[in-house]
Amino acid sequence: MNVTRIEITDPRFDPDAARHQAHVSFDMQSASDAGPVLVHFLCHSPRRADDPASLVTEDLIADALRQARRMPGFRRGERRIVLRLSA
């Protein structure tokens, strides 16, 4: 599955949990003729509140990829996730 778009919404820092949280969505397209798939994940980053946003973004996307790889089909290695983003 090719990730063709990533969207991060509702980012916030939770001072009680001392972590960032956001919703991360992937638009995914199969290499076959199957239609597009949209998946959503609630993701976290352990970075401090004053850490650079770019590092938090990297962590949130990495957490979404980790969760996606645990989905059926991916965790058994039947399908791979490939980032195919255009600028």
Task: Give the pTM.
Answer: 0.85
- CA dist 61 → 21, 29, 34, 84 (Å): 11, 17, 24, 14
Return the higher-pLDDT residue of 23 and 70.
23
Q: Is 27 left (phi over 0), alpha (psi -120 to 50) or beta?
A: beta
- The string of pLDDT tens digits covering residues 35-86 is 788 899 999 999 999 999 999 999 999 999 999 888 876 766 667 677 676 6
37: nearest Cα among 75, 77, 70, 5: 5
Strand order in the sheet with 2-14: 37-45, 19-29, 2-14, 82-83
